Structure 1
Amino acid sequence: MNIAETLELETITLVEPLFSDLIYQEMDDLMTETSGKSGKILVDEEESPVLFAKSDENGFWTGCITMFREPSLALINLFEQFEWDMYQEDRETICDAIREYYSVRLCNTVIPGPDDLNPTRAKSIEALLKRTVGSQSDEICIDCCCGTGVGSLVLKKQGMHPLAYDNDESLLVRGIIEKRLIPERTMWIDGRMIHRFMKEKASLVCGFMIGEIHPFNAHIWQEIITAACRVSERALFTAGTEPEIRQIEEWMRDTGKKGEIFESDADPIYDRWVCYSE
């Protein structure tokens, strides 16, 4: 079910330009700078408002998402000026609908990156998951820095329910086109901000072929990896070199996770070095 259908509308336009903008309360200004004729408010199962929608005099509906931020006083005051209807849906269903909305927008506006999938890599990741994670049917997991989605492809095959994100929009579009990434489970965000988009911890975070880690970008990778570890119970990261994986293991320890490092012979280039933490 998409956002419009949830509110019994044919179409709706969200004022936030990007999915990553949903955490910023300033986005409410794009909603409150114009008046409204009538409104709809969507709440989750805890009756917290997650979406405000208003129509103008021409019947054009716009909405803003407050699922990942507190609604501003100005937004609340705006909706007190006209009549509105309330709708309710569970949070996970709403999240999926919002992610799908922005994934579709992304695919309509961004040129896809190259298809870089080596078919043999999917098999090596599958073997790695069986060796470490095992069977985790229906578990929610995170595909950190997912690229074009080879990790999500294998995680789904293993019966898990991946939530993928990356900061490279062209790779995400390629992954969606190739159906390795699911639109409603994909986010274009800065990985350092993943905690802002997670209400509960995932059972597992996977980061396949993290890197390349250099002195000039190590602080960024540290923030990405520690952020992912803090929103997950367990962690599995791979890298191309031993120094990189040992750096990752150190960052994992900073979050209270004790990782086991080993070398994998399944792929001599990708995912060669592995760190897994229960």
Structure 2
Amino acid sequence: MPEGPEGPEGPEGPEGPERRGRGRTTLLIAGAVVLGLVAGTCTGYLIQADREPTKLPSLSQPTLPQAKGPAPEPLSAAQDRQVKTEGDLRKLLLTKPKGAKEADWLGDDGWMDLAAYADSYEKPEEVFGDLVGDEFRRAAVTGWSEGSTYTVELRLVQFRQEETLAAADYCDNNQYWAEDEDSTDSWPVPGTGTGMAYVHRKADTKPGYLPLYSAEAHAWRGDVSMEIWVYGSKSIPKKKIMDLAERQMERL
């Protein structure tokens, strides 16, 4: 006779009753556990009801003595760095020295927007995307030329810094590339923590052009990264780049 639904693999086969029996046993055990939990909980309530209420600690705190003397004066705008950097960044830039000529390559308003700042790098497309991700806010710029010997450019680049410390990161990046150049001397800028100044002793030479020497300085404070670039037809003295860097950082 052929095996049908009630055969070896059906509900009445060898495995069918065993599975059903195990299910009923599990259900009974589970019911006993629930009853046990309910009984235990009820017993706990009865025991707690017969006890005296536990006294809770006082919520009041001891009164702390107040410091004596007048309240401290608030910082002035000159002392509060945040007040400085939330204002017009252009006012924090160094002014051109007497006798120097204003740089006509920087525009008229003293601001450098995101596109213009990215364009100052060798790969502006990549830098543009990085600046957007790093929350570039604004950049103030100034510069001048001193006769036919030197040109100077200073930038204060500010970031929103809601996610990362971008000002420090960009300062570190600029320092990395400055140190990577051959024949470069470097010195810490006093009072800046990690600020550095660099003089590149090897001139950049191109056919049809005079040799071009350069120096630079990079430091940061808060959400502002400082960049200084000096170019000249002869080697830049250490004193020149250090003086610019120290005086500019004193204004931040």
Establish whether TM, by shorter chain, passes 0.5.
no
TM-score (norm. length: structure 1): 0.23
TM-score (norm. length: structure 2): 0.24
The structure whose Rg is larger is 2
